[in-house]
Structure 1
Amino acid sequence: MNGISIYSGAGGLDIGFRKAGFDIKWANDFNKYACESYAKNIGDHIRCGDINNYLEEIKELKNVDIVIGGPPCQGFSVAGKMDPNDPRSKHVWTFTDVVEMLNPKAFVMENVKALGTLSKWEPLRKSLLERFRELGYSTNYVVLNATEFDVPQGRERVFFIGFKGNSKLIPDLKKMMEPYKKMAPTVRETLSVLDKAGTGNNTGVCKAKITLTPNPVLRKSPFAGMLFNGMGRPIRLDGYSNTLPASMGGNKTPIIDDKELYENQSGWVQEYHSKIMNGSKPSEFKEAPERLRRLTVEECALIQTFPFDYEFCGSQSSKFCQIGNAVPPNLAKHIGKMVMDCLVNEVIENMIINLPYQLEMEVNG
C-alpha cells in the first residue's frame, strides 16, 4: 500500500510504517537537517520546506492509501506555553486538509500526550474527531506508551487514527493495539551493541557538564525528582529511560553512569539518593563524579529505536533535536502493522464500538 508522510522529521514514523509494509512515496518537513537525514537514510522523495508551499503538489498525488504525520507539538506540550494561538498548533488542521485532498483508506496523526489527555484541549479533540468524521472516517484517538511496543523509553504520545468507512462507528483503538504489544528490552540491553562513549561506533559525546544541586527535589525514585542542575535526569539502566526531549544536547541531556554500564558496579545515583533520603546533607554545588556523563547521540538514537546504521546530518545539537522530535520507529511499526492488518483483512468493523459521539472520552478510559 502506498502512503505519504507529512511533518516527517528524520523519519521515525516512516521507518516504522515501511517495516509494516507501507511504501512511503512522498514526504515533507520544514527542518533542513532532518530532511537531509531522511534523504540519506530513507529516500530522496522528501520535500524540504513549508508544507503550505507543497499543497498543490500533494493534490496531484494518486493512489494514496494512507497519510501519516506528526504535526508540530510545541503549542500543545506541557513543556511549553500551551498557547492555543501558537501558529504551530494550526498544523493539525493542515493535516486534516491533506486527508481531505487525498481521501486515503486510513490516516495516523501523532502528537504529544497532552493533546489527548488535558481538559484544556478537549474542545480541540472533539473538533478534530468531528472533522475527520465529516470526511467519512471511522476515527478515534488513543494514548500509547512506547515501552509497551518494544521501545526502552517511557514516552507517551497520542495518536488519532481513522479508517475510511462508516463514520458513525468509533474504533476501540486500545483494544485494537493489544495484540501488537511487545515488551521492550532494558536500556542496558539496548546499548550493549555500542562501544564505550567516545570510541568506535559511539562518538557523539555530549560535553555539557553535570553539576549537583545543593537543593535537590527528592522523589521515591532516584530517577525522578532533581539531583542535578538542569533538566537532564539519570537513566535507569535496568529499566527504561524517561522521554528523550528535543532540547537535548546541553544540560537537558539524560545522565548515565559509566561504571554501572561498563563495569556492572552499583549505581552512584542510587547510592547518593539513598543517603540524602536517610538524612545526609546534599552535596555543595560542584561537578558530579567523572563516572557520570550525558548520553551520546548514538545512545539516544538506539533508545529511540532508530536503526543502528542510521546516519543523522547536521550539527550535534541538530542530531539530538531530530532524535528527540521523532516518533520511535518500533512504536510506529506496531501501529503500522495494526493499520495494515485492518486494511488488508477488512476486519475493522469487528474491532469497533458503536457509541454516541459524546461517549468517545469513555472509550479512551
Structure 2
Amino acid sequence: MLDLFAGCGGMTRGFLDEGRFMGIGAVEVDRAAAATYAANFDPDGRHTFAGDIAGYTDVPRVDVVIGGPPCQGFSALGKRDPADVRNQLWREFVRVVRESDARMFVFENVDRFAKTPEFQLLLQAASEEGELADFDTQVFRLNAADYGTPQKRIRTIVVGSRVGPVDAPRQTHARTSGEGLEQWVGLRQAFLEGPVVLDAQVRETWLPESVVDFQGHEVPGTFKLRDLHITRNHDLISEVRYAHIAPGQGRFDLPDDLQYPCWRRHTRGAGDVLGRLKWDEPAVTIRTEFFRPEKGRFLHPQWENGGDQVNRALTHAEAAVVQGFDERHLWCGTKAEIARQIGNAVPPPLARAIADVVARRLTSG
C-alpha cells in the first residue's frame, strides 16, 4: 500500500494491524509528521517522501492507495472557501492512484466533504468518462466510536475498486450493547482500564529534550506516548472557571461573573466551548487544539463538586489514546506539531476496520 497525506501514520497503523498489508511508500508535506511516520514505519526514511505531493513523481506500483487530503478547506470550523488550494489536493490523490496502477483506493475526509462541490467532482472522476472510470466507487459514512475508538468522530470514506465492490466495514460497537455489539468505549475504560493507564494528576509541561535526524534535518523526538502526558500552566481565573463546569456542561453553565465579556454578548452557538467530557462516554471529535478548553469540550472528565477535580484540558497522551493510538506509536515534533498530528489523524481502529474489507476484496478479487 501507499499512504498519501500520511500525517503521523494513523491510517497506516490501522492497515498494518489488519495483518495483510505492507507499506512501501508515504507522502507527507509536514516534516515533523513525516518524521513521526518514518519513526514508526520507515526507520531508514527510504520510502517517506517529505514534501509537496505535486513533486511526488517516482510512484511505486501498489495494490491500494490510502489517504486523506487536508480537511480544513471543507471543515465546518474553517472558512469553507471554495478557492482554498487544499480543496484541490484530491486531484493529486487521483493522479497517484492512476500512476500506481492500484487495484483499490481508500479516500478519507471529514463528514462535510460529502456535501462539497469537490466531492461531486471526485464522483465525476469515477464516472464513465472520468480518470477513475474503471473503479467501482462506494461512499460510507462511519463513526469511529462504532469500531472501538473512544471518540465520536464521523468521517466520509470513499472506497474505489477495480476488482468488485466491498461490504461496509463490520461494526463492532454501539451506543448500547446488544445483538453482538459491544458498548461504545468510554473514557473511563480508555484511561483507567485499558492497556495505557494515565495518571489524572499531571505536573510536566514540556517534552523531554531530545532530537532525531530525519533526512538531514533535526526534529524534536522521538517521544514515547507517556512523554506526551504533559499539561499547560493555566492562570487562576481559568482554573476557577474549569472548576465550575461539571461533566456534560460548558460555558453556558458558568455563573455570570465568570463569563468572558464577549460571551455575555453571544448567548448562542459554540455550546461545546469550555466543555467537560464524561467518564462513561466517548470523547467528542478531537481537534488540533484539544489542549485549549476554550476551543471545545476538552476538559478532563474527572470532577466532583467540592472534591477531587482535574481542572485541565486533555494531555497530548490522553488525546492520542482517544484517537486510538497505543504505546507502540512514537512521536516527533514540538508540542504544537504533535498536537496537530494527533488532531488530524485517522483513528487506527477505524482504519483497521476499513482495511479488513479492503483486504477481503483484494484477496477474493
TM-score normalised per structure 2:
0.75
Deviation at 1:96, TM superposition (A): 0.9
Name the amino acid aligned to 1:207.
Answer: N
Total equivalences in the alignment: 301
The SS at the match of 2:340 is helix
Deviation at 1:224, TM superposition (A): 6.2
1:59-208 equivalence runs, <5 A: 61-62=60-61, 64-116=62-114, 118=115, 121=116, 123-133=117-127, 134=130, 135=132, 136-165=134-163, 171=165, 176-178=168-170, 183=182, 184-192=184-192, 193-198=197-202, 201=226, 203-208=229-234
1:335 is aligned to 2:354:
yes
What's the counterpart of residue 210 of structure 2?
A: none
1:35 is aligned to 2:16:
no
What's the counterpart of residue 53 of structure 2?
A: 51
Deviation at 1:227, TM superposition (A): 4.3
What's the counterpart of residue 263 of structure 2?
A: none
1:238 is aligned to 2:264:
no
Q: Cα distance 1:297–1:65, how it changes in 2: closer, same or farther (>3 A)?
A: same
Deviation sequence 1:150-194 (CA, Å, 0-9, x none): 10101111111111146xxxx5x7x62235666442111111112
Cα contact 1:5–1:26 (8 A) shared by 2: yes
Cα contact 1:197–1:296 (8 A) shared by 2: no
Name the amino acid aligned to 1:137.
Answer: F
Name the amino acid aligned to 1:107.
Answer: F
Cα contact 1:207–1:294 (8 A) shared by 2: no
Cα contact 2:3–2:66 (8 A) shared by 1: yes
Q: Distance in 1 between matches of 2:202 and 2:250?
A: 27
Deviation at 1:93, TM superposition (A): 1.1
1:280-319 equivalence runs, <5 A: 291-319=310-338
Q: Cα distance 1:107–1:224, how it changes in 2: closer, same or farther (>3 A)?
A: farther
Q: Cα distance 1:240–1:104, how it changes in 2: closer, same or farther (>3 A)?
A: same
Q: Distance in 2 between matches of 1:212 and 1:26?
A: 49
Name the amino acid aligned to 1:244.
Answer: I
Name the amino acid aligned to 2:139.
Answer: Y
Deviation at 1:341, TM superposition (A): 1.0
Moved more, 196-205 or 103-112: 196-205
Deviation at 1:236, TM superposition (A): 1.4
- Percent sequence identity is 29
What's the counterpart of residue 326 of structure 1?
A: 345
Cα contact 1:146–1:155 (8 A) shared by 2: yes
RMSD: 2.9
Q: Cα distance 1:143–1:226, how it changes in 2: closer, same or farther (>3 A)?
A: farther
Deviation at 1:196, TM superposition (A): 3.5
Deviation at 1:127, TM superposition (A): 2.0
Q: Cα distance 1:237–1:266, how it changes in 2: closer, same or farther (>3 A)?
A: farther
TM-score normalised per structure 1:
0.75
Name the amino acid aligned to 1:46.
Answer: T
1:252 is aligned to 2:268:
no
Name the amino acid aligned to 1:76.
Answer: F
Cα contact 2:3–2:27 (8 A) shared by 1: yes
Structure 2: where are the runs of 5+ without partners?
174-180, 205-225, 255-259, 261-271
The SS at the match of 1:293 is coil
Q: Cα distance 1:195–1:49, how it changes in 2: closer, same or farther (>3 A)?
A: same
Deviation sequence 1:226-273 (CA, Å, 0-9, x none): 547693431111111100101333343610144x4xxxx5798xxxxx
Name the amino acid aligned to 1:242.
Answer: V
The SS at the match of 1:242 is coil
Q: Distance in 1 between matches of 2:274 and 2:251?
A: 11
Deviation at 1:95, TM superposition (A): 0.7
Deviation at 1:207, TM superposition (A): 3.3
What's the counterpart of residue 219 of structure 2?
A: none
Cα contact 2:145–2:282 (8 A) shared by 1: yes
Structure 1: where are the runs of 5+ without partners?
269-288, 347-365
Deviation sequence 1:296-341 (CA, Å, 0-9, x none): 1110000101122322211112111110000001100111111111
1:17 is aligned to 2:10:
no
Deviation sequence 1:64-106 (CA, Å, 0-9, x none): 0000001011111111011111001110111111111112111
Q: Distance in 2 between matches of 1:70 and 1:267?
A: 45
Q: Cα distance 1:244–1:179, how it changes in 2: closer, same or farther (>3 A)?
A: closer
What's the counterpart of residue 276 of structure 1?
A: none
The SS at the match of 1:8 is coil
Question: Which has a greater percent of strand?
Answer: 1
Deviation at 1:208, TM superposition (A): 4.5
Cα contact 1:180–1:338 (8 A) shared by 2: no
What's the counterpart of residue 282 of structure 1?
A: none
Name the amino acid aligned to 1:236.
Answer: K
Name the amino acid aligned to 2:159.
Answer: I
